[in-house]
Every structure is written in structure tokens, then in C-alpha cells.
Chain A
Amino acid sequence: MGKEVRKQPIIICRCRDVTLEDVEKVLNEGIEDIESLKRILGIGMGPCQGRTCIPLLISILSRRLKKSPEELLIPKVRAPIVPLPISLLLKSNEAREGGDYEKS
């Protein structure tokens, strides 16, 4: 049954179209930490910032490395928590105070 499923790609990261096969290819190169996998594959670097894919990746790694999910280092979370429209940033106080470009 597993083989049947694998005829279609299994998507791990929907933002960046990363499949389970892509993940396994890099794992087989000996790269098994989340920070490296994230950067090499782009997993967790799309608009969802890893909300869907990082838990899936942790589950894959946990089984492969026989470690509990708690033992795996989770990537650093970067600001902003949700994607911010630039039009919104332009209305902020920071844009008024420090975004000045006329002075030089």
C-alpha cells in the first residue's frame, strides 16, 4: 500500500513544494539537522514560516534518528510572526521617524 501512495509525490512543505523524496535525498547525504534541512530545502522559509512543514519534518526526523521530538533542535522563529504587507509597515511610526531619505 505504501508503494501505491508513493506514486504521487508526498508534499511536506506546501509553500515551497518540497516533497518527502526531496527530504529523504538530503537526509541520505548525511544532513540530519533541522537548521540545515530548512536552508537547503527551503522548508519553513515560505509564507507559513514552518507551521505545517516543521512539525512534519520533526516527525520524520524523530522516527529516522530514533529520538523523541523534544530532543530535536527546533529552528529559531524570526519576526514577523505573520507576513506583513509593506503598505502596513509604511504607516508605522518607524517609517515616519526613521525612514527619512531627504536628509543626507
Chain B
Amino acid sequence: MRRAKVVIIGSGISGLFTAYSLLRRGIKDIVIIEKGYLGSGSTGRCASGIRASFTSREHIVLMRHSIKLWIKYSSSDLGKYGLYYDQGGYVWIASKDETLKMFNELIKLHNSLGVPTRIIDNSELKQKVPSITTKNIVGAMFDPMAGKSSPFDTVHALYNFLKNAKVKIMLYTEVKRIVGNEPNVVGVETTDKFVEADVVVITAGSESYNLLKRLGVNVPIKNMPRHALITEAYREIFKPLVIDWDTPGVPYIVQTKDGGFYIARDIEEEPELSLYSQRIDFMAKAVKPLVRFFPWLRNIRVLRYWIGYYVTTPDHHPIYGPVPGYENLYIATGFSGHGYMMGPVTGEVIAEWIIYGKPSIHEAKRLTLDRFRKGELIRETAIVG
């Protein structure tokens, strides 16, 4: 048997940053248990985009804070281990005039909450995205605060930092169940041992559902499959993440640090589709609309295609904080596609829930699992589309 102050289930971005934030507040005796490899759930499959330009107050405020932390961490201890934030911005291109009007409404909301989005014309768009063909474009919304980083570099940096701070990370070890009865859990049972803990944190993405189901707690999350592809690597062609807003399925393209173009688009899809299903039709559907704006894409090759899950809640906002009925069990999941970018703020919110009994960011207090039972879902301030 082992003992730990805090056991964290899952070594994705949320679990690793939770350990990091606990450590920074002086909690040392932490064990992270991961059933696969580092970042093997949604973290390693994500697009790596980071932005605060959302449509609800909760998302905007939390992500503004998260971006501050991305910048701070990249120039501090984690930066030395390879974490970085490349603030190249986001560009939403519009093909219709009414889309620009809608962007203007969004910009009012963003600006009122401190996110400096603005409309740019085609000549400025060409400066930011030099190789773009603007024939079908009437203008764009630009978010200079947004950016990208590398999920692999981030996870690797956190791993090394935590390991050097004596956090125990058990890879390829599955938690079979969380042990305890209301109002306290006492630890977790893995395939071959029991780990006793004062506090248990569930950051297991979609697996959080099964872990809590065994305790009789329902977590309203669904796995929504999302598809992505990556091309061969080229020198840096453009910095921002570019979103084709007016095409159904909202295709987008971003060049990774390694030079490959990461391309995604929503296609018609069933929830809970296996991660290893073959939807090779996705490749053609994703690239076709983008070739209008980037004709040179025709000449490059697709290397790889894969599926990842948006672990999605009914109101598309994360579940943060204590599990109802328990005094020492916490959860962070259901990011609905935004878990990677929220990683740094997730760590802070969960660490504060554990240590101070509430998060310092007011907007995070409303994101508990309790809200679904009470019917207090988060509302979008601006409805987009």
C-alpha cells in the first residue's frame, strides 16, 4: 500500500497542471496515476490553439486568466523545460457581409471583458497571413491575444518539472475504482495496489464518467468525435490560426512549430464513435474549402489523420470543483473542446478548491457538477452563427 496527500487520476493537461498548482502552494506528496502514456486522452489529440475570444463571460474570464498563465509559465520554470506560448493570434475570415456584422457584436462583448479583438480588412489580413487568396473574403476578425503551443512539449515540460519535484507519476496504471463512502473517499484501487489519499482529484477526461458512476454520481458528459489531419512540414508560412467561419463545419488551419499544417473541420458524426474508426472521407472534406483561400495546399501531402474527443457537457462549459456528497473528491473534466487551452487556469481553480475551499476567480465558482442537478446551466452571452 502507498499513501499520498493527493492522488490525481489522469496525466493529461488538467491533471498535470493541477499537480503543478498544488506544488506551487506547498503541497508536496502527490501521486498521478495514468492508464496510458502522458497526455494520451484528448490532450495529445488537440489542435493546440489558445484563445479568450469566446461567447460567454465564464469562458472569456477564465481563458484571459489562462493566457496570462501561459505567458508567465513560458518565461519561468516550465519554460526552461520546454513549455512555450506562441502568440500568433487567431483570424476568423468572413465571406459574407452579415458575418462581419455578427463579428462586430462579438467584438463588443470581447472588448468589454478585456479581450482586444478587432475587424481587419483584406490588406491587413494579407500581412498577417501572407499566402492567403482574398478573392472570396470580405474581411476578418483578429484576436491578437490568442496563440498556440505544443501539447507534447507542454506535457513533457510538466512531466520533468513534476518528476524533479518528487511527484510520483505512474504510467500505464489503471485506476479500477475510487474507494470510499459519502462524505469521504479514502483512496483509489489500481490493477495491483491500493493508494491511500487525503484528497482524490479526477482529471480523467471521458473516463471520469465511469469512475464516478461506480460511486453513484452521474457526470453528464458525452464523447463527441472530432477529426484532424496533419501535412508534411514546411518553413513557417503564417503564424495565426485561420478559421473559415462561413463554411459549414467551420474548417480551420494552423501551422505547428514543427512546420506541418494541422487542418480540422466538423463533419456529421455520431457521439461515442471509436477513436480508431476510419473516416477517411474527412480528409477530402476538410481540405476542399481551405484550398479556395490557400491554393498552394494542392501541392502538399497529408501525412496523418486521427480522431480525438471533445468531452462535452450540456452547456459546453467545464465541470470544476467538488463532487457533490464528498468532502475530499474533486473533478475537472467536460471541457467541450477547450481543455488544453484552459490547462493552466484549471490547475489554479482546482488547487484553490482543494486548499481554500473556493476558487479566487468568481466565474469558476459556478462551474461545479452541482449546476446540472440544480438546473443552473451556463448561458452564452452572445449566440454565434
- A contact residues vs B (CB 8 Å cutoff): 16, 29-31, 33, 35-36, 39-40, 42, 45-47, 49, 76, 78-80, 83-87, 89-90, 92, 94-95, 98-99, 101, 103-104
Q: Are B287 and A36 in contact (CB under 8 A)?
A: no
Distance from A57 Cβ to chain B, minimum over Cβ atoms (Å)? 14
Task: Pick from B32-40, B65-73, B335-343 the stretch touching chain A.
Answer: B32-40
Known: A40-B156, A89-B287. A83 touches B301 (CB 8 A): yes
State which of B44, B160, B284 has its C-beta within 8 Å of the C-beta of A89.
Answer: B284
Known: A33-B37, A99-B288. A90 touches B298 (CB 8 A): yes
Q: Which residues from chain A contact B246 at a C-beta distance below 8 Å?
A: 104
Q: Are B306 and A78 in contact (CB under 8 A)?
A: yes
B285 contacts the other chain (Cβ, under 8 Å)? yes
- Which secondary structure dominates where chain B touches chain A? mixed
Q: How far is the CA of A92 from the CA of B282 in the complex (A)?
A: 11
Q: How far is the CA of A89 from the CA of B302 in the complex (A)?
A: 9
| Nearest 7 Cβ contacts at the A-B interface | A99-B288, A83-B301, A95-B284, A94-B284, A94-B281, A101-B289, A35-B37
Number of B residues, CB within 8 Å of A:
45
Known: A33-B171, A78-B306, A95-B284. A86 touches B267 (CB 8 A): no
- B contact residues vs A (CB 8 Å cutoff): 36-40, 44, 152, 155-156, 159-160, 163, 171-172, 231-233, 244, 246-248, 258, 267, 276, 278, 280-281, 283-285, 287-289, 291-292, 297-306
Known: A47-B232, A87-B299. A78 touches B285 (CB 8 A): no
